[in-house]
Amino acid sequence: MPRPLSPAGNSGIVTVSTQQPRLSPMRILFISTTFPDAAAPARGTYNSALVRALQREHEVAVVSPRFFTEVYSRRGRKTFSAPAEMQRLNIPVDYPTSWYTPRLLQARYGDQMWWSVRDCVQRRLEAFRPDAVLSYWAHPDGDVGLRAAALAGVPSAVIVGGTDVLILPKLPHRGERVRQVLQKSDAVITVSEGLRKATCELQVPEGRVHTIYQGVEEHLFESTRTRHAARKQLGLSDEFAHLLWVGRIVDIKALPVLLTAATRLRDRGVKFKLHLIGDGPARAGLKLQASRLGLDSQVYFHGAIGHDQVPDWYRAADLTMLCSDSEGLPNVLRESLACGTPFVSTNVGSIHEIAQPEASLLTPPRDPDAFATAIESMLTPEAKQAAATYRPRGWADCARDTARLLQSLRDARAEQAKTAPLPRRPLQTPADYETATSVKTASAGEVWT
């Protein structure tokens, strides 16, 4: 019987006091470039899920800047609209254009984004009057979140996802700006304990860093539908092992390593099909590499698909894989387990926090031989059975813990204002409010049965 992932009966955030404060409705402004639109529904689905879950008890508005490179092309100017689900829930989403200097002056990316979107942000602040600002990704998104919160005179929290605290702080010039955002935020939310530790090592006060594990959409990612039914729906043959990769095709995902591992499997006589779900700037080069390696009959590039189509791919697969050079705690692997499918991944970031030896294997980065061996060893009925015991944390849990943290920041700000009223800040530098809270982190709230 697999051991529990985390202490039973303890999930999300807990306070020092013996009683949890009752949550009251809040108005939350969410800011991030990583958010879907009608034409790109698979972009930042985890942020969309969090916003929808928050909307059940609170009011949420979204500002999601789009870089000018996405907006303008030879065909003209592209316009963006909110996904149908956001419109159905009456969640307003703004898509202002963000101008920046590609590869140059990276330390000024926060300034550049703020200069680009501040008029849009100010209009939304005046119309929405938020109680708190929540952003995703430390820089430049979190920088904009800080400035918006300062303008509104409300607390700011930033969610960090991985690379923004593992790699960006090491960059010359830009790294210092990333650290400033983290240090000046009222709260930093990490998606794993490993990222919490990495954030604290950047001289962010421990009392302001909180682990809130993400959730999965339990009505979508579940294992009651059989592998046979999923394969029939997708037209996949039982003659082969079906290997799955899901994500954005970018360099940090190290997909050339996966293709090299695929050649090792082919040479060992493993009958498989490798399915890549997603798109990105590295896709064209990766397709050329697959052809050069003679993998045209084994590797399939399916492109981006709707979020509601992904679960059947997990259920149909024998194994889900990630071979990234850097990750936080990717929801792809949680979703795979929730659908009853084991995984193989490189041992990076905080993936070890959800890895169980019965249903997963971790390998060193950039080692295609070890990766191929791990894949081959996990293609067993026992691994599939072990994955089926995973019970995921839902987005409602994540939203509840996030709202509780934001409420504690709002209440602390209100108490502080009673003795020393805080004036609204002008449009200039990021906010430097430092609010003490009594909120601590706890466990992932996920169990293995």
Same domain, 164 and 266: no
Looking at residue 401, its pLDDT comes to 97
Mean pLDDT (the chain, rounded): 89
Q: For residue range 127-142, list pLDDT tens digits in order.
A: 999 999 999 999 999 9
Residue 255 has pLDDT above 60, yes or no: yes
Looking at residue 7, its pLDDT comes to 28
Q: Average pLDDT for residues 49-53, to the nearest whole number? A: 97
Same domain, 121 and 24: yes
Other Cβ atoms less than 10 A from the Cβ of 112: the count is 17
Residue 13 has pLDDT above 80, yes or no: no
Q: For residue range 114-124, list pLDDT tens digits in order.
A: 999 999 999 99
Q: Average pLDDT for residues 304-314, to the nearest whole number? A: 93
Q: At which of 371, 391, 411 does a domain end?
A: 391
Residue 431 has pLDDT above 80, yes or no: no
Residue 444 tokens read as: 């992932």
Instruction: Tell me, yes or no, whether 220 lies in a domain.
Output: no
Looking at residue 392, its pLDDT comes to 86
Instruction: Tell me, yes or no, whether 6 lies in a domain.
Output: no
Pick 225 or 369 by higher pLDDT. 369
Q: Average pLDDT for residues 25-29, to the nearest whole number? A: 97
Q: For residue range 310-356, list pLDDT tens digits in order.
A: 999 999 999 999 999 999 889 999 999 999 999 999 999 899 999 99
Same domain, 387 and 398: no
Q: For residue range 139-169, list pLDDT tens digits in order.
A: 999 999 999 999 999 999 999 988 899 999 9
**What is the CA 20 to chain-centroid distance, rounded?**
27
Q: To the nearest whole percent, how much of the chain has pLDDT over 90?
A: 80
Same domain, 347 and 399: no
Q: Average pLDDT for residues 281-294, to the nearest whole number? A: 97
Same domain, 258 and 378: yes
Q: How many angstroms separate the CA atoms of 374 and 376, rounded?
A: 5
Please report which confidence band the pLDDT of residue 3 belongs to, taking 50, 70 and 90 as the band edges.
very low
Same domain, 179 and 240: no
Instruction: Tell me, yes or no, whether 1 lies in a domain.
Output: no
Pick 99 or 308 by higher pLDDT. 99
Residue 14 has pLDDT above 70, yes or no: no
Instruction: Tell me, yes or no, whether 252 lies in a domain.
Output: yes
Please report which confidence band the pLDDT of residue 12 belongs to, taking 50, 70 and 90 as the band edges.
very low
Instruction: Tell me, yes or no, whether 350 lies in a domain.
Output: yes
Same domain, 256 and 381: yes
Question: What CATH code is carried by the domain that includes residue 108?
Answer: 3.40.50.2000
Instruction: Tell me, yes or no, whether 2 lies in a domain.
Output: no
Q: What domain count does the chain have?
A: 2
> What end-to-end distance do the CA atoms of the chain give, in Å?
7
Instruction: Tell me, yes or no, whether 71 lies in a domain.
Output: yes
Looking at residue 426, its pLDDT comes to 45
Instruction: Tell me, yes or no, whether 5 lies in a domain.
Output: no
Same domain, 271 and 407: no
**What is the CA 124 to chain-centroid distance, rounded?**
24
* Residue 57 Cα distances to 324, 361, 400, angstroms: 36, 39, 9
Same domain, 343 and 279: yes
Residue 446 has pLDDT above 90, yes or no: no
Residue 439 has pLDDT above 50, yes or no: no
Same domain, 319 and 431: no
Looking at residue 22, its pLDDT comes to 65
Same domain, 175 and 320: no
Q: How many angstroms separate the CA atoms of 266 and 264, rounded?
A: 5
Residue ranges making up the domain that contains 381: 227-391
Q: Average pLDDT for residues 21-26, to the nearest whole number? A: 80
Please report which confidence band the pLDDT of residue 20 belongs to, taking 50, 70 and 90 as the band edges.
low
Q: Average pLDDT for residues 10-16, to the nearest whole number? A: 34
Same domain, 196 and 238: no
Q: At which of 376, 391, 406 does a domain end?
A: 391
Residue 380 tokens read as: 């067993």
Q: Average pLDDT for residues 270-293, to the nearest whole number? A: 96
Please report which confidence band the pLDDT of residue 2 belongs to, taking 50, 70 and 90 as the band edges.
very low
Looking at residue 352, its pLDDT comes to 94
